[in-house]
Structure 1
């Protein structure tokens, strides 16, 4: 009896060991197959389809500017791999919809965090990126008062993590990244020029972007990374960000809800240098095309590399009240306006870009006026959200 008990125990142990082996092997092969599939997707997406083309890692690829830039690069035959964490700063469904659009054009967007150094290393191992278009960031001036840590984590720590990956890569890619017109802060000299002082930020968001400019300069100086910073001026258009004024104004006007319009000092209207997305994309591609090369290898500098900063704006500031007038005409509805004094939340009363440097160096020439650009945005908005009836409510 004792013998049979021992035999049963041995048989059970062997069976459980075999089952454990089978389960382990299944998990191993599933994991291996998934890893191989992921790597193939990354490599296929990053494959270059034109002579003298580039392979670009686009961070924030499911974002507003990132999705447009990715599509433009892919359209002309460049390799594009996206990276996005799909956070919930605004409705993630819009990012998912942009991602579906990118997927339909065979652009693979990796879901992951910019601070994940191991993930970045895997991406650079899979593809020898010639360029990085860094557009991932925690955006928004006012949200910084609610969640300041998210700005430090993304706009500073995330930037450093990415630059570390870039400087260690061999070959090193050229880096183009999104700074912001917000760095001009309390500057009252107009139009804003790249040579102006930017040491008086008016918001934490602006301060993190200013810090980014100093950090990128350091990596250019020490490691020979080619760096181009782009100061965007109030980008708008189809697939835009819902937290932007023109977007929320459109939604509220359609829903019959009041809109809040801020006024500046001495009851003056706020004004912005609104820049249409297609013009911004041209500036981004021009920056990539003229970026030059990084001079480091494996983190060691071998010579000076380009370091540039450009304003990308429309050069024609428009009062926010006029923006509302244009939206009313396109929507054929009147807005219920609630005009209040601008709170001390970091917003500035006006922006106005001097783009002469970008014109000279990049051939940058914005061609879309606000009337035309908002018409395109409204048509997209009505189509995307399914407004057959102008008075419909979301």
Structure 2
């Protein structure tokens, strides 16, 4: 029988020994310098031209999508949006290292991972406009995507709920003997939620093949990292829970790709969780409801613009002879036009019938909800000028 004596691994000392925060130096993996050249001590990960160019193209596309949709929100065409400007490498580089059967559990700044898997511009737009083609039937606010076919779990607004869910899903993958992992994205602010601690502890104890991917972008909305925690980032917490941990430059697409490849390999071969802390920076506002000028300086932002992951990747592709300036410009123009056309098309599609709030949720609509629905329809009929013409329509 296995010896379960938890003191067996403990080293004995005979003097007071204080473990200080700086005792363990957790290094950050970096493959590319900010200027796009390879570090002298670094090795390029095994990556094909096709995958490298797809990573770059997806990051470029997401930045265009973000710019257009922020503009659409400012025009009142959608209610809310979250951009990933400056953080594209974290989502796209990691998604590129996964396999299609791997489950993605996202927070709300990983649209790049979804796009890399093939989510179309029309699908993005239909969700954000909550129209009849939105698979969520308008029950979610914008940017709360989900796609069963792409193994992308639907996003929920409460912070951190996906973390223990990812541990449980990965445990199920292990029990089923699947060649698959679950990756779970979240920000360093969400790591302050109790769900983070419960999820990592559960994954460590149950040996779940999960990759917990933390985007440490410096701010939890307006709260800087140094006011959130005194420890050495989020990576040190993984060590505390007995979770293998990698810290990576989140603005370096190749480093993120290499780290996630290794994490997936270990998660499957050793049936264990891995924590990746990607050190990055949110150049955009937290959301369209936020004004970052109130809590950070333009000088700070400008310093991080020099580490732009898209420019970094472009310069490396140029060094490799894999970058065509004319073709890239044509792709950018095409993407801008595609986003604009899909936006105009999606906003013309009628919204979902109001009954969808309660139908196909229950086998039979409960009386109290039916009563509320009848009251709502009567209210809309009494004040039609205050609501869209389609608001009260039936199926």
What range is the shorter-chain TM-score in?
Answer: 0.3 to 0.5
Q: Computing the radius of gyration over CA atoms, which structure comes out larger, 1 or 2?
A: 1
Give the TM-score normalised by the residue count of structure 1.
0.36
More contact order relative to length (CA 8 Å, sep ≥ 6): 2
